[in-house]
Chains A and B, each alone.
Chain A
Amino acid sequence: MAKTLYDKLWDAHLVAQREDGTSLLYIDRQLIHEVTSPQAFEGLKLNGRKLWRRSASKATPDHNVPTLDREKGLSGIEDKVAKLQVTTLDENCKEFEIEQFDILDKRQGIVHVVGPEQGITLPGMTVVCGDSHTSTHGALGALAMGIGTSEVEHVLATQCLVATKQKNMRINLNGALPEGVFAKDLTLTIIGKIGTAGGTGYAIEYSGDCISDLSMEGRMTVCNMAIEAGSRAGMIAFDETTMTYVKGRPYSPKDSEWDMAINQWKNLHSDPEANFDKEIQIDVSNLKPQVTWGTSPEMVIDIDSAIPPPRNESEKLALDYMGLHEGMKIEDIKLDQIFIGSCTNSRIEDLRVASSIVKGNKVSRNIKRAIVVPGSGLVDQQAKKEGLDQIFTEAGFEWRSPGCSMCLGMNPDQISEGQHCASTSNRNFEGRQGYKGRTHLVSPATAAASALSGNFVDPRGTSI
């Protein structure tokens, strides 16, 4: 029978059907960070249970780590509670002999940047992490899902996830993205179209010639926000682009194993006759840069338009929270902070695009702070090699050390009450970036162009 990519990944990892009707799905890789793992390790210890397979898990601290004074390591974390979480991860990794890229390791970074970058997450794998943006890894042709802490503990103890199969959805994206319009605009458009619950209960496969043309970085940006459309897993078929990206990474297969792997991976696509429970078509050739105006990623519009009248109570509350009103032009919103970073947009390609706009210009005097936070130590290294850090700092941006940073402000990087921030992250929820802070989700190009003028600017008019 013809199968979808999701069907194939599911079937290849199905271990057993439990008596209760749920399935045991084998998990190839678990990524671990400091925030959602301590209670899972504690659970293992309290019940005297062993770790099932040591090599399956890889860890790195990312949510809490400060992005300043990184060379100080643990002693650079001033928040005692945050520090305890990071040291607890150190201790758990030591006790259970789990490989960790710790706070001082040059490979440390956001789990969803580090995984693909190291070849720790690969095509055909099942990947889980106690973080909803695990969907990112689906870009490699993997089944990657965010899970809760009880599930983290379950995977540590059994190497399996108790799961129920989702339905299949395919989003076909056809046409070529116009200049100045990027993967982020694409993924925001999808969420605006299907809503934040549109993908609930589905595994989403993104396909079409627009997806084929996207770089791996762009594909990761698209899959990263599958969860913002309600879907635990977003994925993209394996192709030449995937193969080129994966080859030669530290944990990728080599020599004869590489040939074995390619032989398996080339089958990671939906069969032509495969059936999807839901299909959506989007022509991308007329897409415009997107900006969110509210407190949910689905509250999003074209950068050159005006805020629409609220359609319900939630939208009314959102406008009130954002201090905006119906009819106001997006380009008239004054900005206070700029954040370029997060597991959505902190890869080298994102920094290259943003720096090309920033180069030779200055951040507007209205902007109180503009920061760039590379996704990992290796992205940081590469950017420095290309001189990108200098371009940003000369323009007035601050160049920081890797971590989740202002995406959720668990570390000191936060926006203040009432401030508007153009952010390349993934969630514009109330208070997400700081108490009563106002987040607008945009692409790195839009964030960079807007930093220069102090209000939203269409990056299509700037030289990229």
Chain B
Amino acid sequence: MNEYTIHQAKMLPLDRANIDTDQIIPKQFLKSIKKSGFGPNLFDSWRYLDTGYPGQDNSTRPLNDDFVMNKKRFLGSEVLIARDNFGCGSSREHAVWALQDSGIKSVIAPSFADIFFNNCFKNGLLAIEVSNEVIEILFKLSESDNIVNIDLENQALLDINEKLISNFEIEPFRKKCVLEGLDDIGISLQYSQEIKKFEERLKQNSPWIFR
């Protein structure tokens, strides 16, 4: 895979700042020892009218019709748009797994919390930081045709007619992670000799660390 384009994607507009990972995936679902199956419980307490618990049949639960995810025109959205400080709070990577399990391929916001931002790229979820002006344009678009195109190679957001909305910045390494799905541990293990050498010196200088 050397080209990553999210073509004609629907947006899921979540018009809120400081959306924390407790909202993205509530604590009761963190008891799983797997990485999959979190999708039906994404935004659980906003999405359903009852209290969710692990292992239940989510298809029969009462839906909160006021929540964007449950509105017909937003079904099947692949790009989540939100306001500042998205993903703050708990370090739970389950938040990223839940978004991906629900078909979300990219999250666009003016700013992200550090740990969440890192977790996204470890899993190939494309987190894009844009200015407040650009996010405003996207929220406006979500009220009309609700289509965005993301061209990662060229770092561009385009509208339904492939007209440029804005370019975006992304660190080259993070871009590569999403484009090529890098084996991060494999790359680091290429530095095994350096790590060993560092460790030998540390053992001499600070032996208590090895207790």
Q: Which of A's residues lie within 8 Å of B, judged by CB?
A: 15-16, 18, 20-22, 24, 26, 28-29, 35-36, 38-39, 42, 47, 49, 52-53, 55, 63-64, 79, 81-82, 84-85, 88, 122, 124-125, 130-132, 146-151, 153-154, 157-160, 162, 164, 196-197, 200-201, 227, 230-232, 251-253, 257, 260-261, 264, 296, 312-314, 317, 408-410, 427, 429-432, 435-436
A200→B45 CA distance, assembly (Å): 27
A296→B18 CA distance, assembly (Å): 8
Check B30 for interface membership: any CB of A closer than 8 A.
yes
25 contacts between A and B (CB under 8 A): A15-B198, A20-B187, A26-B199, A29-B209, A35-B30, A39-B33, A49-B185, A63-B30, A81-B54, A130-B91, A146-B115, A147-B91, A148-B118, A157-B188, A157-B189, A164-B171, A196-B88, A197-B84, A200-B113, A201-B114, A232-B114, A253-B207, A410-B27, A427-B20, A430-B22
Q: Which of B's residues lie within 8 Å of A, judged by CB?
A: 15-18, 20, 22-23, 26-28, 30-35, 45, 51, 54-55, 84-85, 88-93, 96, 111, 113-115, 118-119, 122-123, 171-173, 176, 184-185, 187-189, 191-192, 194-195, 198-199, 202, 205-211
Q: Which residue of chain B has its CB nearest to the CB of A197?
A: B85
A88→B31 CA distance, assembly (Å): 11
A88→B115 CA distance, assembly (Å): 25
Q: Which residue of chain B has its CB nearest to the CB of A250?
A: B211
Residues of A within 8 A of B118 (CB): 147-148, 151
Residues of A within 8 A of B184 (CB): 150, 154, 162
Closest 4 CB pairs of A and B: A150-B122, A38-B33, A253-B208, A148-B119
How many whole Å from B34's CB to the nearest CB in chain A?
Answer: 7
> Apart from A122-B208, A427-B22, what are 18 other A-B pairs with CB-CB below 8 Å?
A16-B191, A18-B187, A22-B173, A52-B195, A55-B211, A148-B122, A149-B119, A150-B122, A150-B184, A158-B191, A159-B195, A162-B188, A196-B18, A227-B89, A232-B115, A313-B17, A409-B27, A410-B27
A148→B33 CA distance, assembly (Å): 14
Residues of B within 8 A of A82 (CB): 31
Are B34 and A39 neighbours in the complex by a CB distance under 8 Å?
Answer: yes
A244→B188 CA distance, assembly (Å): 38
Residues of A within 8 A of B171 (CB): 21, 164
Contact of B31 among A42, A79, A125, A196 (CB under 8 A): A79
Are A132 and B91 neighbours in the complex by a CB distance under 8 Å?
Answer: yes
Asked whether A257 and B198 contact (CB < 8 A) given A150-B119, A230-B85, A317-B16, the answer is no
A26→B202 CA distance, assembly (Å): 10
A49→B207 CA distance, assembly (Å): 26
Question: Which of A42, A63, A251, A410 has the largest number of chain B CB atoms within 10 A?
Answer: A410
Asked whether A85 and B22 contact (CB < 8 A) given A148-B119, A430-B45, the answer is no
Residues of B within 8 A of A125 (CB): 209
Are A15 and B194 neighbours in the complex by a CB distance under 8 Å?
Answer: yes
A-B contact count (CB 8 A): 192
Residues of B within 8 A of A160 (CB): 188, 191, 195
Contact of A16 among B18, B23, B194 (CB under 8 A): B194
How many whole Å from A293's CB to the nearest CB in chain B?
Answer: 15
A203→B26 CA distance, assembly (Å): 28
A253→B210 CA distance, assembly (Å): 10
Residues of B within 8 A of A79 (CB): 31
Are B22 and A261 neighbours in the complex by a CB distance under 8 Å?
Answer: no
Asked whether A85 and B31 contact (CB < 8 A) given A47-B185, A148-B93, the answer is yes
A125→B34 CA distance, assembly (Å): 31
Are A85 and B114 neighbours in the complex by a CB distance under 8 Å?
Answer: no
Residues of A within 8 A of B34 (CB): 39
How many whole Å from A240's CB to the nearest CB in chain B?
Answer: 20
Contact of A159 among B45, B114, B199 (CB under 8 A): B199
Residues of A within 8 A of B188 (CB): 18, 24, 154, 157-158, 160, 162
Are A132 and B195 neighbours in the complex by a CB distance under 8 Å?
Answer: no
Are A430 and B23 neighbours in the complex by a CB distance under 8 Å?
Answer: yes
Q: Which residue of chain A has its CB nearest to the CB of B194?
A: A16
Are B90 and A132 neighbours in the complex by a CB distance under 8 Å?
Answer: yes
Residues of A within 8 A of B192 (CB): 158
Question: Which of A230, A252, A264 has the largest number of chain B CB atoms within 10 A?
Answer: A230
Are B173 and A21 neighbours in the complex by a CB distance under 8 Å?
Answer: yes
A37→B115 CA distance, assembly (Å): 16
A42→B28 CA distance, assembly (Å): 21
Residues of B within 8 A of A49 (CB): 185
Question: Which of B33, B51, B85, B89 has the largest number of chain A CB atoms within 10 A?
Answer: B33
Q: Which residue of chain B has its CB nearest to the CB of A258?
A: B208
A197→B110 CA distance, assembly (Å): 12
Residues of B within 8 A of A26 (CB): 195, 198-199, 202
Residues of B within 8 A of A314 (CB): 16-18
Are B191 and A264 neighbours in the complex by a CB distance under 8 Å?
Answer: no
Residues of A within 8 A of B85 (CB): 196-197, 200, 230
Question: Which of A162, A197, A257, A260 has the largest number of chain B CB atoms within 10 A?
Answer: A197
How many whole Å from B121's CB to the nearest CB in chain A?
Answer: 9
Q: Which residue of chain B has its CB nearest to the CB of A429?
A: B22
Contact of B113 among A147, A230, A251, A430 (CB under 8 A): A230
Residues of B within 8 A of A38 (CB): 33
How many whole Å from B174's CB to the nearest CB in chain A?
Answer: 9
Are A429 and B23 neighbours in the complex by a CB distance under 8 Å?
Answer: yes
A427→B88 CA distance, assembly (Å): 11
A157→B211 CA distance, assembly (Å): 19
Residues of A within 8 A of B96 (CB): 148
How many whole Å from B100's CB to the nearest CB in chain A?
Answer: 13
Residues of A within 8 A of B122 (CB): 148, 150-151
Are A64 and B31 neighbours in the complex by a CB distance under 8 Å?
Answer: yes
Question: Which of B55, B91, B115, B172 has the largest number of chain A CB atoms within 10 A?
Answer: B91
Asked whether A200 and B114 contact (CB < 8 A) given A16-B194, A154-B184, A429-B89, the answer is yes
